[in-house]
Amino acid sequence: MKLAVQEAAYGFTDVYKLTAAQITALATGNQVKVATLPAGGVVTQAAVFEVVTSAGTSTDLVLDVGTTAGDPDEFIDALDLDGLTKAAFCTGEGFTAGGDAGTLNGVVNNTASALDIVAEVNFTGTVTAGEWLIALTILDPAALSR
């Protein structure tokens, strides 16, 4: 969801609520669109906040967030949701040294088309409770010419 200007004043421009029910319905290894990265856009920060602690039989609940359909990990990479205490910030390969050859190439959409930002959750067992917020700050160059 794109935040209103007054909501975005706190630093994030987009937020997506991920629940245990959504994870179960989505099933392991599948993806859901959480935001859009516009042509020429830049993701400057990505965070995941735990709102409700996870429950269920799964002890390997892992989240990836990015734009690469085969392995969306530019913004959040292999985040252990069931082991998360409260928050994780910019853990993806686009932000970390070694990822994308240590550059920030993974966070810039250097194309003429918008890209879907997707979340992928992998797990075994069941996820019966839990709620997380995926928060992003996305710079849109189209806003500069208004």
Q: What does the alpha-carbon distance between residue 74 and residue 104 come to, in Å, rounded to a whole number?
A: 9
Whether residue 61 lies inside any domain: the answer is yes
Whether residue 104 lies inside any domain: the answer is yes
pLDDT of residue 101: 43
Strand ranges (DSSP E) for 14-97? 14-19, 31-37, 42-55, 62-66, 76-80, 87-89
pLDDT tens-digit profile of 25-47? 999 999 999 999 999 999 999 99
Q: What is the mean pLDDT of the chain?
A: 89
| Domain of residue 34, CATH code | 2.60.120
Whether residue 92 lies inside any domain: the answer is yes
> Residue 98 — very low, low, confident or very high, per pLDDT cuts 50/70/90?
low
From residue 85, give the alpha-carbon distance in Å to each of 28, 50, 55, 88, 145: 22, 7, 13, 9, 41
Whether residue 63 lies inside any domain: the answer is yes
Least confident window among 62-66, 101-105, 120-124: 101-105
pLDDT of residue 3: 59
Domain count, the chain: 1
Domain hosting 87: range is: 5-139
Whether residue 146 lies inside any domain: the answer is no
